[in-house]
């Protein structure tokens, strides 16, 4: 028999039903009657149960009778129960009674809530009964979710298909949405740590909570928001680098070198003074006159806090601490002090122990990477310096650019939750990529994403238990339940990607719906078609007129369909002719140029076409093979033509 | 109410139950009684239903009463039904009666069978009721499957967890296995096109078929097996190439050139005669004295059949038809004639329209690829010449080798079903990769795989509807239901891979269970740990003694755990020292050397270590980044060091 718990105390079914009813949640009809009170009930079939402190395991002593279809049968059942109990030597008195409950039939669903350390209250909905555990067909909804988030979350479950006219059933998805909203209200009004409505029965008249368990208790989830409005970290006019070095190869040298292109005013500080790159080296921050809005710290760890104090006098708004040697080395107190100062004096901090910051529009490059950063409209925020460094390096090689690069390092202050709204306001940024390991302040992260109208691509590391352990050892951050994290991000419309490379590539292909394939072989064309279909993208349909047009430049054996198989003996001119014709087709978002090494294939000559002409459509070569396509690969790299060497890789980022 | 259909005729519940019972399949207790016959039943609760041709919709006229718990209640219910029918003006007579059936409660499962055009009879088992459609939690079992296959198939479903001591339930997986065996027997004894037992109820006493539908009918699935035992295609002693060309760059030239290394006797035929590579060019096959066991045909399409007739006179055993221009060009009749000749004269054919054949041990290279083929123990059978060509090219570049390469082309005769047993007998082959598009003769393919004791890696193209269309347009082969194909292959123990590259890489890593990671950065190490965990591989656990040993060569800040984070400032010597120590560890199958470009990273110097020392353990570098690791990538390619450029790629093939 179910256990109805509220505030750690068992409460009666009718009290629980009353509580749920207050929030508009339907429960079975239910009535308590005295031991000898006449039963009048009207919601059949019904079940009658003895209610007595003397009877713990009701079923074992014949204290429950199911499937009663009339008040007469109820009366009869009452007598039977009394007789059953007598046989078990249980004598009832006036304090005892019966409870009569409507039996509800229907599919078993589930709704509940938990208090998560990352996200606070989170609502779960899905298939109930034993299948909750077996199929884990559940979605996760942050407790402040808006209706569009609820709908998106529900759409990730298979059980939601029952509400989609499945087999002609007339179940309404609005029932679930309203139920979720009721639970949201309940969580707002009450301190509820756990709620379990299982089963929640799906009937033709709506959802009915048959059984529930509620654990009340004070929330342990807290998020302290800074009271004052933060300055915009992305606005930098007067930047000082403290700890500039004249020693080539040193971090303080490379950063000073990279920063030179800054459009605003750039100042260098080095305790010894002198000059670097034609710029004066101030001996200290205090030597500089006027305010400083942005400072970069590259000095030794023990000089960081004294430097910050000097900077505070200059009305510091933004601070970038490259210097390592804080929390990650056991110096927690110093790191906390930095956080305290930032809050007290209302400035932003990224770091300590970070790779820096890059903003394309202002030409502000505060990173110690040695490679070039291309112009772009894509921002990348990373919790790992090494992930950022390797993707920057890969992007540089492939000619992909960025609007902003932000390495949050130990993240004493700024995290994605604070950075997303700033990027959302930045005109130069059109899409945002996030690399996350641990997540703190999950509710404000959700709120930031909710209010962001730019596409967000997210890779979450530390999904598995083994990786959580590894991440903890290098960041000290604990990662929560990945299924929940992923579910909530999906509900927020975030594109959760499964490979690091997708953080670079997915934004480039965000508007791709319809794809054409030009191939010199049928087999690989089929494999590519599968990969495109697996990503729910459409194959462009050639019209009869278009086929005719292609007939004029293709041998008669061509496939007459997309994939456009130009046949194994295709030389560059045939690819070129087909490309020129296809470039005139509209409603086409992407053309894959699939090249496999065959008898006469000239892969290099074929990719060269992409530099000889400017195509309206995005054309991406896929170069299968090895030695025979090597020169084509090298040409693409040199010329900044984005290409792939495997079909899987070429499609993995298609949203 | 359920519909019991047998041989397109509705049969009674009791007849159906009788049929199922003959195969040991439990059904509810069930009894037919006359209109006024005394009811004695002993399997409660029960349901009573009117049985009369006058009553079609029993429930609508009160002709069914559920939940009866005693013979008295049954008697009472009988009277009620008669009265109900009277109220509906239905008068019963002696030809009418009742059926009493036990009500069975339990989870709803499903078992059934279909006749598939690819595989013939296939058994399906899974979650039943509406969830059959919603969750598709079903496995597929070929009707001749052995018990190990049945077990493997069941293990792919989630519902099978119910039999695994789930929540303390005492359900036995043997119940399902025996039920599948019963269905196998039923399919052997009867001509059944469709069987649906839904729901199949899971009770504490076993599985009970509550409702069933059987469609009998003659099987349309046929497989003609060759009567005589085929010669072994992989045994070749005297090989003739018909259509050798002296024109450099021509297929007949390249094949003749590649074939020269053959250990056996090699003969060339060219209508004009002369000499090539110091070998006589015979003007015709008939000019050659003695028998020929293997012939390669590179002549024009119209000369193929006449050449075959000449070869037949030479006791031909194996024929490789490179020549194209048959079925794929609409010349179906000619292709069928080749097949007919092969059957009549019992020789093997690969092709026509194929890329050829390669056998490492015999140094027999009958392909027109221009690259080198390295020695190896891995066989690859491909339904696409282009897929084979690109993987050969990639393998050549990466230094990976093969024991056999077989391009089946149009597959007029030899397909995987016939080739697998030959490869299973070939000593030089240790693993088999298959690239399949359409599958014909599915039952014999299953039988070949069943009897093969070498690991098989399989990539199936044309999974999606869009791709099936594409494949049909280039091969004329129809592909079946991919879920079924995949399920049956899994049950056979085939490793179904999801990328073409995995066909090359997976065999190399087939015995990898436990993995260590050496990394110079925590973030990518965490991502790699997730990827390893996602493949169900184990992270090697460092003992305290091993950590001490590593302490001696690592800075104090190292992770003290696997992933072994050697810290961002690691130079090659540190990697080298760690590798040397780790190479002494046992029970370790693979070491990933994860290199991210950081401040001082020397990727090239680090990968060079792999050429300076011979490590006992497999060590695979993962080079993240772009420009900064370019020289290391090039070094690996040049030196034949297998490496990857992304974490996802490096793990996708881990079985």
Interface of A with B in 512-541 (CB under 8 A): 520-527, 529-530, 532-534, 539
Cβ-nearest to A384 among B161, B521, B647: B521
**Looking at CA atoms only, how far is residue B511 from chain A in angstroms?**
21
Determine contact, residues B428/B361, Cβ cutoff 8 Å: yes
Q: Which of residues 57-76 of B touch A (CB under 8 A)?
A: 67
Q: Among all chains, which residue has been given the structure tokens 């030009």? A: A518
Q: Which residue of A has its CA nearest to B473?
A: A559
Question: Residue B63 class from Cβ within 10 Å (0-12 exposed, 13-18 middle, 19+ buried)?
Answer: buried
pLDDT band for position B1 (cuts 50, 70, 90): very low
**Residue length of chain B:** 655
Is the pLDDT at B70 greater than 70? The verdict is yes
As beta bridge partners, residue B459 has B435
Flag whether pLDDT at B8 surpasses 80. Answer: no
Q: Give the ipTM of the model, two decimals please.
A: 0.91
Q: Check CB contact of A647 with chain B, cutoff 8 Å.
A: yes
In B, minimum Cα distance to A372 occurs at: B627
pLDDT digits (tens, 9 = 90+) for B14-50: 788 899 999 999 999 999 899 888 899 998 889 999 9
Average pLDDT, chain A: 93
Q: Look up tokens 């459409």; give the residue.
A: A538
Distance of CA A129 to the CA centre of its chain: 28
Q: How many CA atoms lie within 13 A of B553 on its CB side?
A: 20
Instruction: Indicate whether A430 pLDDT > 70.
Output: yes
Between the CA of residue B19 and those of A230, A294, B209, B346, B627, what are the distances in Å? 78, 85, 11, 44, 72
For helices A482-491 and A147-155, angle between their N-to-C axes, nearest 10 degrees = 120
Window 451-470 of A: residues touching B by CB (8 A cutoff) are 459, 461-467, 469-470
A432-460 per-residue burial string, b: 16 or more CB within 10 A, e: under 16: bbbbbbbbebbbbbbbbbbebebbbbbbb
Q: Which of A134, A475, A561 sits opposite B161 (nearest CB)?
A: A134
What is residue B2's predicted lDDT score, i.e. its pLDDT? Answer: 41
d(CA A377, CA B598): 25
Searching chain B, which residue's CA lies closest to the CA of residue A169? Answer: B130
**Chain A hits for B466, Cβ within 8 Å:** 529-530, 532-533, 539
Tokens of B65: 């009463």
Q: What is the pLDDT of residue A53?
A: 86
pLDDT at B73: 86
Average pLDDT over residues B501-518: 95
Q: Does B247 touch chain A (CB under 8 A)?
A: no
* pLDDT tens profile A365-397: 999 877 889 999 999 999 999 999 999 999 999
Write the CB contacts of B3 (distance below 8 Å, at least 6 apart in sequence): B10, B213
Question: Tell me, what's the pLDDT at B475?
Answer: 56
Q: What is the mean pLDDT of residues B441-468?
A: 94
Residues of A in contact with B397 (CB under 8 A): 625-627, 630
Is the pLDDT assigned to residue A166 strictly greater than 90?
A: no
For the stretch B81-116, pLDDT in tens is 999 999 999 988 888 999 999 999 999 999 999 999
Task: Identify the pLDDT of residue A1.
Answer: 35
pLDDT digits (tens, 9 = 90+) for B384-403: 999 999 999 999 998 999 99
Of B130, B467, B560, the CB nearest to A530: B467
Query: Which chain A residues are closer than 8 Å to B434 by Cβ?
Result: none
Segment 286-325 of chain B within 8 Å of chain A by CB: none
Residue of B133, B560, B625 lying closest to A390 (CB–CB): B625
Confidence check: pLDDT of A478 > 60: no
Q: What is the pLDDT of residues A251-284, one digit of tens each?
A: 999 999 999 999 999 999 999 999 999 999 999 9
pTM given for the model: 0.92
Chain B partners within 8 Å of A162 (Cβ): 130, 134
**Residue A2 in this model has a pLDDT that exceeds 60:** no
- What backbone phi and psi angles, to 5 degrees, belong to B458? -135, 135
Angstrom distance (rounded) from CA B72 to CA B136: 43
Contact between A522 and B387 using a beta-carbon 8 Å cutoff: no
Strand, helix or coil for residue B240: strand
Q: What pLDDT was estimated at residue A8? A: 44
Q: What angle do CA A245, A250, A251 make, to 5 degrees?
A: 90
CA torsion angle B103 B109 B112 B116 (round to 10): 160
Residue range B466-492: mean pLDDT, rounded: 80
User: What 3-state class would DSSP assign to B413?
Assistant: coil
CA dihedral A297, A299, A301, A306 (to 10 degrees): -70
- In this prediction, residue A474 has a pLDDT band, given cuts at 50, 70 and 90, of low
Q: Which residues of A touch B137 (CB under 8 A)?
A: 135
**% of chain A at pLDDT higher than 70:** 97
Check B437 against A526: CB less than 8 A apart: yes
Percent of chain A with pLDDT over 90: 80
Does the beta carbon of A80 lie under 8 angstroms from any beta carbon of chain B? Answer: no
Closest residue to A523, CB basis, from B387, B529, B652: B387
What was the pLDDT predicted at B7?
A: 47
In the A/B pair of chains, how many CB contacts fall below 8 A?
275
Q: What is the CA radius of gyration of chain A?
A: 33
Tokens standing for residue B96: 């009418």
Task: For residues B544-560, give the mean pLDDT.
Answer: 95
C-alpha–C-alpha distance, residues A624 and A630, integer Å? 10
Which 8-state DSSP code applies to residue B603? Answer: H
Confidence of residue B224 (pLDDT cuts 50, 70, 90): confident
Q: What is the average pLDDT across A551-577?
A: 94
Phi/psi for A209 (5° steps) reads: -80, 105
pLDDT of A413 > 70? The answer is: yes
Residue of A nearest to B622 (CA): A390
A316-375 pLDDT tens trace: 999 999 999 999 888 999 999 999 999 999 999 999 999 999 999 999 999 987 788 999
pLDDT of residue B380: 98
Pairing of strands A564-565, A514-519: parallel
B370, B384, B561 member nearest A523 (Cβ):
B384
Report chain B's mean pLDDT, rounded to a whole number.
Answer: 92
Coarse DSSP helix, strand, coil percentages of chain B, rounded to the nearest 5 percent: 35, 25, 40
Cα-Cα-Cα-Cα torsion A33, A36, A38, A42, nearest 10 degrees, comes to 40
Is the backbone of residue B132 left (phi > 0), alpha (psi -120 to 50) or beta?
A: alpha
Give the residue from B597, B541, B521 showing the smallest Cα distance to A475.
Answer: B521
- Which tokens go with B614? 């011979």
pLDDT surpasses 50 at A7: no
Which of A:168-227 have CB within 8 Å of B?
A: none
Whole-Å CA distances, B306 to B285, B286, B299: 11, 12, 11
Residue % of chain B over a pLDDT of 90: 80
Model confidence band, residue B470 (pLDDT cutoffs 50, 70, 90): confident
Residue B357 and residue A587: Cα distance in Å, rounded?
Answer: 44
Q: What is the pLDDT of residues B400-418, one digit of tens each?
A: 999 999 999 999 999 999 9
Q: Is B557 within 8 Å of chain A by CB?
A: yes
CB A41 within 8 A of CB A74: yes
- What does the alpha-carbon distance between residue A192 and residue A181 come to, in Å, rounded to a whole number? 15
Would you place residue A613 in the very low, low, confident or very high pLDDT band (cuts 50, 70, 90)?
A: very high
């Amino acid at each position: 028999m179910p256990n109805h718990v509220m505030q750690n105390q068992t409460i009666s079914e009718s009290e629980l039903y009353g509580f749920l009813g207050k929030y508009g949640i339907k429960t079975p009809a239910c009535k308590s009657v005295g031991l000898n009170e006449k039963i009048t009930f009207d919601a059949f079939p019904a079940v009658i149960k003895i209610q007595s402190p003397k009877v713990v395991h009701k079923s074992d002593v014949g204290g429950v009778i199911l499937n009663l279809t009339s008040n007469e049968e109820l009366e009869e059942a009452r007598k039977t129960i009394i007789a059953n109990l007598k046989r078990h030597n249980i004598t009832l008195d006036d304090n005892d009674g019966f409870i009569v409950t409507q039996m509800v039939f229907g599919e078993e669903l589930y709704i509940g809530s938990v208090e998560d350390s990352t996200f606070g209250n989170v609502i779960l909905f899905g298939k109930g009964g034993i299948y909750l555990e077996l199929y884990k067909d559940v979605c996760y909804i942050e407790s402040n979710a808006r209706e569009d988030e609820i709908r998106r979350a529900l759409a990730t479950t298979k059980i939601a298909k029952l509400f989609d006219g499945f087999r002609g059933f007339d179940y309404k998805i609005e029932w679930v949405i309203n139920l979720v909203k009721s639970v949201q209200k309940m969580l707002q009004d009450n301190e509820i740590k756990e709620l379990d409505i299982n089963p929640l029965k799906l009937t033709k008249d709506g959802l009915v909570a048959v059984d529930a368990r509620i654990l009340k208790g004070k929330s342990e989830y807290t998020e302290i928001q800074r009271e004052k409005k933060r300055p915009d970290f992305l606005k930098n006019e007067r930047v000082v680098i403290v700890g500039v070095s004249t020693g080539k190869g040193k971090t303080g040298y490379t950063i000073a070198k990279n920063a030179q292109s800054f459009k605003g005013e750039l100042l260098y500080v080095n305790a010894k003074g002198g000059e670097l790159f034609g710029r004066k080296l101030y001996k200290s921050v205090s030597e500089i006159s006027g305010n400083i809005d942005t400072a970069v710290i590259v000095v030794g760890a023990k000089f960081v806090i004294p430097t910050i104090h000097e900077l505070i006098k200059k009305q510091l708004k933004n601070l970038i601490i490259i210097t390592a040697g804080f929390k990650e080395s056991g110096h927690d107190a110093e790191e906390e002090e930095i956080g305290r100062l930032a809050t007290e004096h209302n400035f932003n901090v990224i770091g300590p122990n970070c790779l820096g910051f890059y903003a394309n529009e202002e030409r502000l490059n505060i990173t110690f990477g040695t490679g070039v950063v291309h112009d772009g409209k894509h921002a990348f925020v990373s919790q790992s310096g090494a992930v950022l460094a390797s993707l920057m390096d890969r992007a540089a090689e492939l000619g992909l650019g960025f609007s902003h690069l932000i390495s949050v390092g130990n993240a004493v202050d700024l995290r994605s939750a604070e950075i997303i709204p700033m990027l959302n306001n930045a005109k130069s940024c059109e899409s945002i990529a996030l690399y996350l390991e641990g997540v703190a302040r999950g509710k404000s992260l959700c709120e930031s994403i909710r209010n962001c109208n730019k596409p967000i691509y997210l890779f979450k590391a530390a999904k598995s238990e083994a990786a959580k352990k590894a991440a903890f050892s290098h960041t000290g951050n604990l990662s929560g339940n990945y299924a929940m994290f992923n579910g909530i991000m999906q509900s927020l419309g975030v594109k959760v990607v499964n490979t690091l490379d997708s953080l670079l590539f997915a934004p480039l292909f965000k508007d791709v719906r319809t794809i054409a394939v030009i191939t010199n072989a049928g087999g690989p064309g089929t494999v590519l078609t599968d990969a495109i279909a697996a990503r729910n993208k459409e194959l462009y349909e050639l019209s009869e007129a278009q086929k005719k047009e292609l007939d004029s430049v293709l041998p008669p054996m061509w496939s007459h369909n997309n994939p456009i198989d130009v046949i194994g003996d295709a030389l560059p001119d045939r690819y070129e002719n087909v490309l020129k014709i296809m470039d005139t087709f509209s409603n086409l978002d992407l053309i894959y140029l699939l090249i496999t090494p065959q008898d006469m294939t000239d892969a290099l000559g074929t990719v060269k076409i992409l530099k000889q002409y400017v195509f309206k459509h995005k054309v991406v070569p896929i170069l299968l093979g090895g030695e025979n396509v090597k020169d084509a690969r090298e040409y693409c790299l040199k010329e900044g033509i984005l290409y792939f060497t495997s079909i899987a890789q070429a499609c993995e980022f298609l949203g």
